[in-house]
Amino acid sequence: MTPAPATPAAPLNVEALRKDFPLLTRTVHDRPIVYLDSASSALQPQTVITAMARYYETTHANVHRGVYATAEESTHLYEQARIVAGRFVGAPDPEHEIVFTKNTTESLNLVAHSWGRTNLAAGDAILLTEMEHHANIVPWLMLAEEVGLEVRYIPVDGEGRLDLDELDTLVSGVKLVGLSAMSNVLGTINPLAELTAVAHRAGAVVVADGAQLVPHVPVDVAALGVDFIAFSAHKMMGPTGIGVLWGRAELLDAMPPFLGGGGMILDVKLDSFRSAPPPARFEAGTPPIAEAVGLTAAIEYLNEIGMDRIRAHELALTGHALARLDEKLGPDCHVFGPPAGEDRGGVISIAYRDVHAHDLAQVLDQFGVCVRPGHHCAKPLMRKLGVQATARASLSLFSDEHDIEVLIEGLVEAGRLFG
C-alpha cells in the first residue's frame, strides 16, 4: 500500500505572532525595527519575560539543598527545565543526560576539557570541518597544543557544503568528530545522521554544535545518532546565560568534573573528594535558575507553534529572500552558502559590491534593519571564502516578506552611498 502523503504544515500567522514580541514594537531612527539577527540572539516573547519576572517575584531561592517552600519550588522549576529541554531534542533520559551550562561555547569546552583530556592522547587524531564556529575549533586546538593531537578538517566546497569526497580517508583512525549541525555563516544544514554513521564505523565519538539548528528545525538526537549536542537558550527565544549539553549517559558517567565547587560533589575531605553523578557533576556552583525558567517558557512557546511549522515558514521565506535579492540586486549581491532547499536554513550572509560589511550594517541600521557584520566567530571559513567579513541577515518565525523588502531597500541605499 502506498503511504498517504504527509500533511503540509499549516502556515504561520506571522502578523499575530509578531505581537508576542515586545521589542518589535520599537522604532529605530523613526523606522519600525526589522530584526534580522536571530542567528546571534533571538528575541523573547512576552511569555518568557513574564515567566522569569514571576519567578523573581514569587519564588526566587537557591536550588537543591533548601527545604523551605520557595526553595523546593525553585528546585522543581530548575529540574523541570532539564526534562523539558531534553524532551525537546528527543533525549532518552533527560534527567541524567541534560547538563546546563552558560552557553553552547561552554558546553563544547566541557566536552573538550572533560571527555577530551580523559580519552585523547599524543598522536591521536580528531576531525573537524572548515565551517565550524570558533567554539568548536578553539577548545580542540587548545587541547591539541597541550596533548599533541593531529587535527584534520573536512573542506567546504564552492557552494558552501561539506566536500565529502575524501571522508573515508579523513575519518580513518580519528577518535572524535566535531560537526556544526548548521553553519552560522552559510546556513548549510549538514547531513548529520550520515556523517555520524560514518564516524561511528570508524570508532569515533561525535560532538555536534546545534546552536543554529535546534531553534529552527525539529531535532531528535536518537535519529541523528550523535554522542553530544550543544545549544543555547538565547538563540531559541530564551534568555542569555544558559546553554544545554546533551550527552549519552554512559559517556557522561565516565567523564571527570569540568569545574570544582559546591553542588558537584558527594563528599569532600582535606585530601580528596568524590564527585556527584551526572548531571550535577558538571554543574558546580549556583546555576542559572531564572534562566532555566525562561528556557522552559521558550520551549513551550516553540512547541505550541510547532517546530515543523516554524521550519516550513523559514524554508519558504529563505527561498523568497534569496530570489528577491537576486532579482533586485543581481550579481552585485553575493550570498554565501547553498541555494534555497532542504539543506539550507535562514542564515543569509551577504557581500554587496565592494561595500564593507560594517558600512552595510550601519546604513541598514538607518532603515531600522538589524543585521550582524563581521567574521561571525568563523575566521577559518572567512579565509576560505576569500572575505574578511559578511553582513549576515538571519530569519526567525516572526520574519516576513516585508522584512526582506526593507533589507533590500537598505542595501540599495548603501550601494548608492558607497558606489
More confident residue, 120 or 8: 120
Q: What is the pLDDT of residue 373?
A: 98
Mean pLDDT of 52-76: 96
Q: What is the pLDDT of residue 8?
A: 63
Q: Write down the pTM of the prediction.
A: 0.96
Q: What is the pLDDT of residue 3?
A: 45
Please, which pLDDT band fits residue 7 given cuts at 50, 70 and 90?
Answer: low
Please, which pLDDT band fits residue 419 given cuts at 50, 70 and 90?
Answer: confident
Mean pLDDT of 7-16: 84
Please, which pLDDT band fits residue 6 given cuts at 50, 70 and 90?
Answer: low
Q: Report whether pLDDT(4) > 80.
A: no
Please, which pLDDT band fits residue 65 given cuts at 50, 70 and 90?
Answer: confident
Q: How far apart are CA 399 and CA 233, in angstroms?
A: 19
In this structure, are residues 256 and 114 in contact, taking their beta carbons and an 8 Å threshold? yes
Helix, strand, coil percentages, rounded to 5, for the chain: 45, 20, 35
Query: Which residues on neighbouring strands pair with residue 369, listed in sequence order?
Result: 34
Please, which pLDDT band fits residue 2 given cuts at 50, 70 and 90?
Answer: very low
| Residue spans of beta strands (DSSP E) within 219-259 | 228-232, 243-247
Query: Which residues on neighbouring strands pair with residue 99, listed in sequence order?
Result: 245
Mean pLDDT of 26-46: 97
> Of 295, 303, 283, nearest to 239 (Cα)?
295
Q: What is the pLDDT of residue 9?
A: 67
Average pLDDT, the chain: 96
pLDDT in tens, 88-128: 999 999 999 999 999 999 999 999 999 999 999 999 999 99
CB neighbours (10 Å) of residue 294? 29
pLDDT in tens, 211-224: 999 999 999 999 99
Residue-range domains of the chain with CATH: 14-38+306-418 (3.90.1150.10), 49-304 (3.40.640.10)
Mean pLDDT of 179-207: 98
> DSSP alpha helices (H): ranges in 45-179?
46-58, 69-88, 94-97, 104-110, 117-119, 138-143, 167-171
Mean pLDDT of 323-349: 97
Could you give the residue numbers annotated as active site?
377
In this structure, are residues 293 and 81 in contact, taking their beta carbons and an 8 Å threshold? yes
Q: What is the pLDDT of residue 1?
A: 44
Cis check: omega of the bond before 22, within 30 degrees of 0: no
Mean pLDDT of 197-225: 98
